[in-house]
Chains A and B, each alone.
Chain A
Amino acid sequence: MTPPDSAQFPDTVVLARDLSQRVPTAGGMLDILSEVGLAVKAGETLAITGASGSGKSTLLGLLAGLDHPSAGEITLLGQRLDALDEDARARLRAGRIGFVFQSFQLLPALTALENVLLPLELAGRPDARERAAHWLDRVGLATRATHTPRQLSGGEQQRIAIARAFATDPEIVFADEPTGNLDADTGARIIELLFDLNASAHTTLILVTHDDALAARCQRRLHLVAGRAREEAVA
């Protein structure tokens, strides 16, 4: 795939060139990703699809700066990630990037409200509590503010995770199989919510999924087969 150049994409928020990820295994080196290139503009929605083990989540982790590639370059929000150490990448993420995970990843000891509050507090927002309450209301769980994750259903937990992802007004939201742990009906409602919020907040959304319905809601679709990427037209 042709490596994009950041100069050619002034409003690009994520830019990847020749990304490769190789890991040692018992049977020798294993290529998880090979020479993947990608450019995502602000406000775009992108679905990364592929079969299990095709390298979707690995690519998401690399793009979000959670891991570093064996080869290739990533520019995230205008910063070359290979020039940053682990802590500098963390600082880059703070308040500017949101995450939604397949397994929700709520802190069990905190209430619904406090889980949403956490990234706001970390980003030092002065109106953190009001914003958290606002976002909890946006996902329709204002009445469950004091409940802990254990007292909530899977769908409710994911709605809280979505509120948490959008609460800091991030520029990009990364979502890893956001409906993977949910039944079809709940999943559909979560998709609805995610795209509604994304549209109103003008956030860039990059999500990993093997759910065609979800991928179909995105403007673009990057399909991975055995670590190689192919951009497909959205039906």
Chain B
Amino acid sequence: MSFARLGLWLLRRERASGEWRVLLLALIIGVGSVSTTGFLGDRLKRAMSEQGASFLGADLLVTSPRPIEDWPALAVTKSARPASPLARSQALEFPSMLAKGDAFQLATLRAVDASYPLRGSVRIADRPFAAGTARPAQPPPGMIYVAPDLLPLLSAKVGDRVQIGEARFTIAGIVAEEPGQLGGVFGLAPRVFMRAEEVAKTRVLQPGSRVTYLYQVAGDPAQLAAFGAALKPRLDSTQRLIGSREGVETLRGAFANADRYIQLTALISLLLSVAAIAIAAHRHALRHYDQAALLRCFGATTAQLRTLYAVQLLTLGLLGSLIGVAIGALMQQALALLVLPDAVTRLPSLGLAPVGAAVFSGLLALAGASLPALMRLVRVPPLRVLRRDLPPLPVAAWLSAAISGSALLLLITWYAGNARLIGVFVGALAGLVVVLALLARLALAAGRGVQKMSHGPVRFGLAQLLRHRFDSTLQLGAFTLALFLVALLALVRSDLIAGWRQQLPPDAPNYFLINIAPAQQQSVAAYLSQHHLKASALYPMVRGRLTTRNGAPIASTLPPDARDANSLRRELNLTWTAILPANNAILAGHWHGDRRVAEISVESGMAERLHLALGDQLGFQVGDQTLAARITSIRSVKWDSMQPNFFVIFAPGQLDALPASSIASLYVPPDAAGVLPSFIKMFPGITVLALDRLIANLEAVFAQIIGAIQLLLGFLLAAGMAVVIATLLASLDARQQEAVLLRTLGAQRVYLAKSLWSEFLALGLLAGLLASACAEIAMALIAQRLFELPLRLHPWLWLALPVAGALLVGMSGWLTTRHITRVPPMQSIRALN
């Protein structure tokens, strides 16, 4: 019989052993965790790649906040072939209100021509969540297609008529699928398709309205390249030329970053599993020294023993990894349903690549965790059969450390991807381990006081905790980590939203009115005062681009890392006012007041990002006009005040000649909410943004993301339990010996059971308390540093976590050790011999 077969034979015989089971369990948990995220990430990535051109709906897409008049397409048509081989399509995208009866909802309208989309397809269904049929996105005249989530918001169904601006449309179908959309995660303003030529009759678009012009081009690659090359130099920084590959790449880049963080979260569970595996492997090795010595006695060489144990390890590794992958395949579907409920059916099926990756991770983790123990096993001297006190020849500590360390580092490197993230992750992990170990030690020291005050089985149980100090520290650390992360996420989810809501004064504005035409200003003000509604000042809003600083192009005045600033890549909302808005404070310079001079006030964050200083002359491009003004003050802005806030405020008179619409915020008390539908009917072109709904939407998105991470933390809790079980198993022999002694001395089974329960309950309680403390501190830091929210304590946490900890640790501890209270002492003695 070969040693490989012998290894399998022995493995089959020992499959019921505690160590193999824990090792397998820990591996399944760890691989389950990383394969869950691996599968889903892979499906999303492939969805993006497979969509290719259909992702943009075209081969090339040009977006611009203004119409583009000057097309290089002329150059193409002037070529030898008179007929342009390029197909073009044009669309307009803008936000607007949809109203039906008393219900109203903000939507993103895309007004398209007959040829949209040039690539890929739009599927239109006659009822929500049906697959639908591929059709042009342009609806018949007088009709619109809407996203499925819009219907419940408007209490509408297909066939109903809705109001957009001053025109009425019939809902002719549901948008089941459109290019570039994976799912409705951010359902803030659901999609509506309408005919381009019907925009005018809605009268929604005013001078200064927020509009994006989308130009799609498709055709022969050579012509496209020529077209793109000719167009590129004509575009400014607010206009974008996206090739279908670039489009996918950009999105994939952003996605890859998010994916990495999620994968690293999953990796924590695998790393915690590594701890459990290492402990189980160590005990396995200890219990197999005699077996190894005996096999050597029977003539097995070290190489043969190595083969035997390697085959066992590989078999377990493959088995555990494959079961883990199977669980991952199930869990990723749950995760997909949580994160992308609308898109699950459209995602490609499971790929094979993540299976390989997960199995490899599993084997690597297993090797890193168990090789040092197994290396000792093959170095057992055969003389041990005569002298059982002989330990195996030691394996150099550096070698063990190098094997485990490089396996872990390889895993982290693989998941983190770049050096900075590896550094941050390893640093954070090391910091966390040190802090948790210290806390655990402190908690155990405190436990000594309690132990002294207790008596009977409780005292004995607590003494066990203190006696196995290393084990207890490890168990406490692992379980605290798991509980802490679960609790922290729950707090982030509830606190940030609640904190934000609470921080708002009760009469803070809860609606924004956008797109108020100059001619409407007076009648809007009259309507509001007639209904006793408190509104902020009306701020005129002009959309313009920051182009120069002191005469030079702004980008050229900036260090390379600041050139990509967001405020340079989009049009800014510019306003003017003589009165410094509430919630703004001058930090430097002087507020321009009502002097009609070419002066501006700049928000401090923007000034910092763009290296702007008092006295700088800034140039702006608004439509085809340019204007310039000098910075005479720098302001701080309280962004969460729910007032209209601006980066740049001009002195009065400077924007008078430019097209402007106005914006205001408004407080509508709950009992006056009925006013709004009549307001919308009266001013259909004005966009009414409900902050309540905005917050509710954010909350929903937040809940989705956190729910997904919490699902992953389920693996972490399971891995924490595996650590507890593994450490308990490792001390099982010693415990059994103590139990035998106690029972022969007359202790009843109840006494033993009580002492075990007190030990595990104390461990779980301590872990819960530590986790509560960690979560409170972390949450306080997050709330204060990141979101400037007031400090809040969570008394329920201090009850829930210790109870959860006590239950989980108590159950896993009791299940692992209960049989030592049941076995008759004589049987125990024989088993130990």
Query: Which A residues are closer than 8 A to B by beta carbons?
Result: 57, 60-61, 64, 66-67, 86-87, 90-95, 97, 99, 101, 103, 105, 107, 109-110, 114, 118-119, 121-124, 128, 150, 176
Contacts and interface: CB of A to CB of B under 8 A. Distances in A.
Interface string B1-19: 1000010011001100100
A2 to B, nearest CB: 28
Contact of B298 (A94, A103, A109, A124): A94
B386 A121 contact: no
Contacts of B833: 103
A101 B387 CA distance: 11
B10 A86 contact: no
B452 interface: no
Contacts of A66: 297, 381-383, 385-386
Contacts of A99: 297-298, 385
Contacts of B298: 93-94, 99, 118-119, 122
A60 B125 CA distance: 87
B300 A90 contact: yes
Interface string B290-322: 110011111111110000000000000000000
A95 B299 contact: yes
Contacts of B6: 121-122
Interface centre among A92, A121, A150 (most CB of B within 10 A): A121
A107 B290 CA distance: 9
14 contacts: A57-B387, A66-B381, A93-B298, A97-B299, A99-B385, A101-B385, A105-B385, A114-B13, A119-B298, A122-B6, A122-B298, A122-B300, A128-B1, A150-B830
A109 B302 contact: no
A221 to B, nearest CB: 20
Contacts of A97: 299
Contacts of B300: 90, 94, 122
The 4 tightest CB contacts between A and B, nearest first, are A94-B299, A121-B1, A87-B301, A109-B13
A224 B9 CA distance: 42
Given A99-B385, A103-B388, 20 more contacts: A57-B387, A66-B385, A86-B302, A87-B302, A90-B296, A91-B301, A92-B299, A97-B299, A99-B298, A101-B385, A103-B833, A105-B385, A107-B10, A107-B13, A109-B14, A114-B13, A118-B298, A119-B298, A122-B298, A150-B830
B826 interface: no
B831 interface: yes
B387 A109 contact: no
A42 B6 CA distance: 32
Interface in B1-50: 1, 6, 9-10, 13-14, 17
Interface centre among A90, A103, A105 (most CB of B within 10 A): A90
Given A87-B303, A109-B17, A114-B13, A67 B297 contact: no
Contact of B386 (A90, A92, A101): A101
Contacts of B1: 121-122, 124, 128
Interface residues of B, number: 29
Contacts, number: 77
Nearest to A164: B298
B13 A110 contact: yes
How would you classify the secondary structure of chain B's contact residues: helix, strand, loop or mixed? helix
A128 B2 CA distance: 13
Contacts of A114: 13
Nearest to B6: A121
A177 B303 CA distance: 31
Contacts of B290: 105
Contacts of A121: 1, 6, 9
A86 B13 CA distance: 28
A107 B387 CA distance: 17
Nearest to B287: A108
Contacts of B387: 57, 61
Interface in B409-426: none
A65 to B, nearest CB: 8
A91 B299 contact: yes
Interface string B355-388: 0000000000000000000000000011101111
A90 B831 contact: no
A109 B10 contact: yes
Interface centre among A103, A105, A119 (most CB of B within 10 A): A105
B301 A60 contact: no
Given A93-B299, A109-B10, A57 B291 contact: no
A67 B385 CA distance: 11
Nearest to B12: A109
Nearest to B15: A109
Nearest to B830: A150
Contacts of A90: 296, 299-301, 382
Interface centre among A64, A91, A122, A176 (most CB of B within 10 A): A122
Contacts of A105: 290, 294, 385
Nearest to A122: B298
A94 B298 CA distance: 5
B302 A176 contact: no
Contact of B299 (A110, A123, A128): A123
Interface string B88-125: 00000000000000000000000000000000000000
Nearest to A177: B386
A93 B297 contact: yes
A224 B747 CA distance: 46
Contacts of A150: 830-831
Contacts of A124: 1
